[in-house]
Amino acid sequence: MVIQQAIEQKLTQALSPQHMAVENESHMHSVPPNSETHFKVVLVSEAFESVRLVQRHQKVYQILSEELAGEVHALALHTYTPEEWGSSQVPNSPNCMGGSKTDQQ
């Protein structure tokens, strides 16, 4: 969990979130066991006040540029202001259908 901890630390230092959840979703993808390649990040921060969604994501990408240039393959971002968070539901991530995974329908 070295990468997950780095993500949590960097986002905490840069954005002082009121709420943050970093979930390693690598197990849902075609990667080796114990991988840290796919993450879902939920962030609630006053730093997002008056900031458009694309700019919020760009800010997070900038903060995590080192991780994104390395092991992290995918980053699902859900960014909210404290006001937005009160009325929001975080969507579930879909299962990966690439690689060795197939549709079970």
Q: Is 54 helix (H, G, I), strand (E, B) or coil?
A: helix
9 lies in a domain? yes
Domain coverage including residue 12: 2-85
Backbone angles phi, psi at 93, to 5 degrees: -80, 140
- 8 domain residue, yes or no: yes
What phi-psi label fits residue 50: left (phi over 0), alpha (psi between -120 and 50 degrees) or beta?
A: left
Residue 35: which CATH number? 3.30.300.90
Name the pTM for this structure.
0.82
pLDDT in tens, 4-48: 999 999 999 999 999 999 998 887 777 777 788 889 999 999 999
